[in-house]
């Protein structure tokens, strides 16, 4: 035993020294080999080359980072209330979190994807799915704010989402959990054959980006995991990975892994459009929320929709084909040419790569291997394009560079593996610290990846950072992929769980970034665009304050005549028309968050005073040299007081 331990120690020592020597060799080469530090250093005042949009997983939000520096610029609130930005707290954005289940203040944000034109990223929008209460959100990259959220009916666990087609014709939303469709009271053990999966196609208006649930494809009761669009020749198809083709409903870790192969479902959405045009859909009654934030009124509205068009995959020939894929595939990724569809069987050591042209050939020659609920299953051997053999343990997700290489993450063996598309040979592997989930190459889901960097998103960090108690940060790791070998450059901490990411060349986004909201275009119902319009109106117990803010005062800043039991609406307009001068406002005892109001914008919070007295409010954002002077008082009198409503500034 002792001897063997010694051997172990000796081997480890050797490995350690080998690595140490390699490192010192690389950094001492100076001009010949750039050091990692040089590659990630962005000088003060300089801009990063790429934006990275990294989802927050259970935080429900979307974080914006720069690459290669790993600097965090913004956390965009999407599905979770955010007191910092009053998201879901102010009156304007509360409707954004409305659903058929009522106001839901949280979700699990998973897979951001950037809008495309002709198969290339266009930098207009980021779409991202809410996993828990099925939703898709759209973030407008001119303002870096969530401007639309649509709920997905007949779905549960909106996981294979929110991936866009190559002209952003559709954003897709495949259900993870199959459920009774429509929902009804029934025994769980009658799952098999009765529960259904739905794959939703949400159209995106080419002009204004408006989303609309165009149709759903009703599928067998499998679990639908991830999706990616066809491109080039395979444009018009969307590929969804499935598992639990066993249709189990309990102890899934065993029961959904019994079949050697599950499927990648290839959905011909152009065919679906034909069927819709021919009227071969069922108009199914349902109930879901569609929430839209209007940039001119600075206000969201929520509309309940009552119907969805459903296409039954079992009954409509040519709509869906099933590609057998080993061992519970997770990632389902399409290479830049659109020819190869990579299935990452999470219990497999191999990657299965399907060929689109072989798939079309197999369909045309009807090389079927039975069917599942009437949906043809193609013969595995006839659609197989290649196999990346024994690449690692627990393959999860594959991204691509522009040079014909795939980069696959392996959760169990905790590494990223580079392999050659077409020859399927492994070129390089680098460890991830630790337990990498998804990975990201800027533009990796498009015809033209930008390449250059690979970002690994790790679930576990243990000793990688200063400890912060039992909960330690999850992290991203940046690799330089410009050479034959990948080089680890940087670790950086992330917000929540860095579940998935999308990256884009910054030049495609930053020129369009808005600096202020024009006051002249402010159509908020309670906007106060000049000091002449400042006023307070009482309607019974409801009081509306039309207030303005500008460096460095509120107007009005002295208010009297408010009574205990009133419901006081502060409608506050930021009169600044200068870049990067937001103001904040908060009121003592208000049961809500602050407001953080951008130049030209109007926001509203509600205060219900419960105690007699004179109560202050103040600006919460350090706006100016006289920020500390930016304050005001509200006098609150007893409910039966007859003190008249009055307001003033500087009197």
Residues that bind another protein (CB under 8 A): 1, 3-4, 6-8, 10-21, 23-25, 28, 253-254, 257, 327, 347-350, 390, 393-394, 411-414, 431, 433-435, 459-460, 462-464
Residue given tokens 């067998």 in the structure block: 220
- Smallest gap from residue 101 Cβ to another protein (A): 32
User: CA-CA distances (angstroms) from residue 301 to 234, 290, 519, 592?
Assistant: 37, 8, 21, 20
- Smallest gap from residue 413 Cβ to another protein (A): 5
- Smallest gap from residue 354 Cβ to another protein (A): 18
Whichever of 255 and 646 has its CB closer to another protein, that residue is 255
Q: What is the per-residue DSSP string for 538-572? A: EETTEEEEEEEEETTEEES-EEEEEETT-EEEEEE
- Smallest gap from residue 71 Cβ to another protein (A): 23
- Smallest gap from residue 452 Cβ to another protein (A): 25
d(CA 429, CA 381): 28
Whichever of 274 and 491 has its CB closer to another protein, that residue is 491
Cβ atoms of residues 201 and 214 within 8 Å: yes
Whichever of 26 and 360 has its CB closer to another protein, that residue is 26
User: CA-CA distances (angstroms) from residue 585 to 110, 122, 257, 530, 602?
Assistant: 32, 36, 54, 18, 12
Whichever of 287 and 387 has its CB closer to another protein, that residue is 387
- Smallest gap from residue 260 Cβ to another protein (A): 8
- Smallest gap from residue 48 Cβ to another protein (A): 26
- Smallest gap from residue 105 Cβ to another protein (A): 29
d(CA 166, CA 310): 23
> Can you give the three-state secondary structure of 66-95, one letter per residue?
EECCCCEEEEECCCCCECCCCECCCCCCHH
Whichever of 436 and 495 has its CB closer to another protein, that residue is 436
Prior bond to 212 cis, omega within 30?
no
Whichever of 207 and 463 has its CB closer to another protein, that residue is 463
d(CA 634, CA 640): 17
Q: What is the per-residue DSSP string for 585-609? A: EEETT-SS--EEE-TT-EEEEEE--
Count the helix, strand and coil residues of the chain and give each as a percent rounded to the nearest 5: 15, 45, 45
Whichever of 412 and 606 has its CB closer to another protein, that residue is 412
CA 71 to chain CA mean position, Å: 19
- Smallest gap from residue 165 Cβ to another protein (A): 33
- Smallest gap from residue 453 Cβ to another protein (A): 21
Whichever of 366 and 463 has its CB closer to another protein, that residue is 463
Prior bond to 410 cis, omega within 30?
no
**Quick check: helix, strand or coil at residue 425?**
coil
- Smallest gap from residue 121 Cβ to another protein (A): 32
Whichever of 71 and 462 has its CB closer to another protein, that residue is 462
Cβ atoms of residues 98 and 111 within 8 Å: no
**Quick check: helix, strand or coil at residue 232?**
helix
- Smallest gap from residue 420 Cβ to another protein (A): 19
Name the β-bridge partners of 238.
229, 267
Cβ atoms of residues 623 and 582 within 8 Å: yes
d(CA 293, CA 297): 8
- Smallest gap from residue 431 Cβ to another protein (A): 6
Whichever of 215 and 411 has its CB closer to another protein, that residue is 411
- For the record, the structure tokens of 487 come out as 């080089």
- 233 DSSP 8-state letter: G
Cβ atoms of residues 264 and 240 within 8 Å: yes
d(CA 630, CA 234): 59
Whichever of 19 and 282 has its CB closer to another protein, that residue is 19
d(CA 241, CA 153): 20
Q: What is the per-residue DSSP string for 446-478? A: SSS---SEEEEEES--TTSS---SS----EEEE
Whichever of 25 and 318 has its CB closer to another protein, that residue is 25
Handedness of CA 179, 181, 185, 191 (dihedral sign): negative
Whichever of 28 and 117 has its CB closer to another protein, that residue is 28
Whichever of 29 and 646 has its CB closer to another protein, that residue is 29
What long-range pairs does 23-31 form, CB within 8 A, spacing at least 24? none
- Smallest gap from residue 10 Cβ to another protein (A): 3
């Amino acid at each position: 035993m002792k001897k063997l331990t010694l051997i172990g120690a000796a081997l480890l020592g050797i490995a350690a020294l080998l690595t140490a020597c390699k490192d010192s060799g690389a950094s001492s080469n100076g001009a010949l080999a750039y050091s990692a530090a040089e590659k990630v250093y962005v000088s003060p005042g300089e801009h990063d080359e790429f934006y990275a949009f990294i989802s927050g997983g259970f935080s429900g939000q979307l974080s914006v980072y720069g690459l290669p520096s790993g600097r965090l610029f913004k956390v965009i609130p999407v599905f979770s209330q955010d007191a910092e930005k009053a998201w879901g707290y102010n009156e304007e954005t509360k409707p954004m979190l409305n659903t058929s289940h009522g106001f839901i203040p949280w979700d699990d944000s998973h897979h951001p994807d950037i809008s495309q034109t002709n198969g290339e990223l266009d930098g207009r929008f980021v779409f991202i799915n809410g996993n828990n209460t099925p939703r898709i959100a759209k973030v407008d990259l001119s303002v870096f704010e969530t401007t639309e959220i649509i709920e997905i009916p007949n779905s549960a666990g909106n996981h294979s989402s929110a991936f866009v087609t190559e002209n952003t014709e559709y954003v897709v939303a495949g259900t993870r959990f199959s459920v009774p469709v429509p929902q009804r009271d029934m025994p769980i053990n009658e799952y098999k054959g009765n529960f259904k999966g739905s794959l939703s196609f949400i159209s995106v208006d080419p002009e204004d980006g408006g989303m609309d649930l165009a149709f759903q494809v009703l599928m067998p009761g499998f679990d639908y995991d991830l999706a990616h669009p066809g491109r080039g020749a395979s444009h018009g198809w969307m590929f969804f990975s499935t598992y639990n083709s066993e249709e189990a409903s309990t102890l899934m870790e065993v029961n959904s892994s019994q079949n050697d192969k599950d499927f990648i479902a290839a959905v011909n959405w152009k065919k679906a459009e034909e069927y819709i045009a021919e009227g071969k859909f069922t108009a199914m009654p349902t109930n879901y929320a569609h929430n839209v934030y209007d940039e001119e009124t600075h206000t969201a509205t929520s509309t309940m929709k009552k119907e969805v068009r459903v296409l039954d995959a079992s009954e409509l020939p040519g709509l869906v084909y099933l590609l057998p894929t080993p061992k519970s595939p997770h990632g389902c990724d399409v290479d830049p040419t659109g020819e190869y569809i990579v299935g990452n069987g999470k219990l497999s050591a191999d990657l299965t790569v399907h060929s689109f042209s072989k798939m079309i050939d197999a369909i045309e020659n009807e090389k079927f291997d039975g069917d599942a609920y009437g949906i043809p299953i193609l013969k595995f051997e006839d659609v197989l394009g290649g196999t990346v053999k024994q690449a690692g343990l627990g393959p999860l997700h594959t991204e691509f560079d522009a040079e014909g290489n795939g980069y696959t993450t392996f959760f169990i063996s905790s590494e990223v593996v580079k392999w050659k598309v077409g020859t399927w040979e492994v070129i390089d592997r680098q460890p991830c610290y630790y337990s990498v989930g998804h990975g990201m190459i800027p533009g990796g889901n498009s015809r033209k990846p930008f390449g250059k960097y690979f970002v690994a998103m790790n679930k576990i960090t243990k000793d990688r950072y200063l400890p912060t108690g039992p909960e330690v940060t999850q992290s991203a790791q940046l690799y330089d992929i410009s050479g034959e070998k990948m080089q680890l450059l940087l670790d950086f901490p992330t917000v929540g769980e860095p579940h998935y990411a999308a990256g884009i060349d910054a030049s495609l986004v930053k020129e369009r970034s808005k600096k202020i909201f024009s006051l002249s275009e402010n159509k908020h119902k309670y906007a106060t665009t000049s000091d002449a319009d400042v006023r307070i109106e009482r309607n019974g117990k409801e009081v509306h304050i039309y207030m303005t803010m500008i460096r460095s005062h509120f107007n009005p800043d002295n208010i009297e005549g408010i009574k205990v039991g009133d419901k006081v609406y502060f409608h506050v307009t930021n009169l600044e028309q200068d870049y990067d001068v937001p103001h904040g406002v908060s009121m003592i005892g208000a049961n809500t968050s602050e407001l953080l109001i951008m130049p030209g914008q109007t926001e509203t919070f509600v205060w219900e005073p419960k105690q007699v007295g004179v109560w202050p409010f103040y600006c919460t954002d350090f706006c100016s040299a006289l920020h500390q002077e930016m304050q005001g008082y509200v006098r609150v009198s007893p409910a039966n007081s007859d003190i008249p409503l009055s307001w003033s500034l500087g009197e």
